[in-house]
Amino acid sequence: MKPHKRRQETEAVRGGTDLCKKNGPLSTPIYQTSTFEVTDSDEQVRATNTDRFYTRYGNPTHTVAESSVAELEGADGALLFASGMSAITTSILALLKSGDHIVAQRDIYGGTTKFFSQWLPKLGIETTLVDTTEYDQHERAIRTNTRLLYLESPTNPTLRVVDLRKTAALAKRCNLITLIDSTFATPINQRPLEFGIDLVMHSGTKYFGGHSDLICGIVAGRRDLIQKIHETRTTLGGTMDPHAAWLLLRGMKTLAVRVQRQNENALRVAQFLAQHSKVRRVHYPFVEGHPQRALAMEQMAGGGGVLSFEVDGSGEDARHLAESLHLFTLAPSVGGVDSLVTIPVLTSHAMISAEQRQKMGVTEQLIRLSVGIESAEDLIADLEQGLAMVNPARQHAEVG
Ligand X SMILES: Cc1ncc(COP(=O)(O)O)c(C=O)c1O
Annotated catalytic sites, by residue? 56, 109, 181, 206
Give the H or E element holding residue 310.
strand 306-311
Query: Least distance to ligand X from the beta carbon of 83, Å?
Result: 3
Given the DSSP bridges, would you call strands 217-221 and 77-81 parallel, antiparallel or unpaired? Answer: antiparallel
x/- letters, 77..96, toward ligand X (CB under 6 A): ------xxx-----------
Query: Least distance to ligand X from the beta carbon of 156, Å?
Result: 4
Residue 212 contacts ligand X per CB under 6 A: no
Cβ closest to ligand X, residue 183 vs residue 308: 183
Residue 154 contacts ligand X per CB under 6 A: no
Residue 292 contacts ligand X per CB under 6 A: no
DSSP 55-71: TTT--HHHHHHHHHHHH
Residue 361 contacts ligand X per CB under 6 A: no
Query: Least distance to ligand X from the beta carbon of 23, Å?
Result: 37
Opening angle at CA 303, ends 297 and 304, nearest 5: 150
Among 8, 28, 59, 183, binds ligand X (CB under 6 A): 183
Which residues have a Cβ under 8 Å from the Cβ of 48 and sit 6 or more positions away?
57
Cβ closest to ligand X, residue 203 vs residue 365: 203
Cβ closest to ligand X, residue 45 vs residue 350: 350
Q: Is the dihedral of CA 328, 334, 338, 339 positive or negative?
A: positive
Among 205, 262, 265, 308, binds ligand X (CB under 6 A): 205
Which residue lies nearest ligand X, judged by its C-beta? 84
Amino acid at 172: K
**Bridge partner list, 24:** none
**Cβ atoms 264, 220 nearer than 8 A:** no
Cβ closest to ligand X, residue 282 vs residue 340: 340
Query: Least distance to ligand X from the beta carbon of 281, Å?
Result: 20
Cβ closest to ligand X, residue 83 vs residue 212: 83
Among 146, 262, 339, 348, binds ligand X (CB under 6 A): 348
- For the stretch 311-336, what's the b/e string if a residue is b when 16 or more beta carbons lie within 10 angstroms of its beta carbon? bbbeeebbbbbbebbebbeeeebbbb
How far is 367 from 310, CA to CA, in rounded Å? 6
Residue 109 contacts ligand X per CB under 6 A: yes
Query: Least distance to ligand X from the beta carbon of 35, Å?
Result: 26
Cβ closest to ligand X, residue 216 vs residue 379: 216
Give the H or E element holding residue 126.
strand 126-130
Amino acid at 256: A
Instruction: Enumerate binding residues for ligand X (CB under 6 A).
Output: 83-85, 109, 111, 156, 181, 183, 203, 205, 215, 217, 348
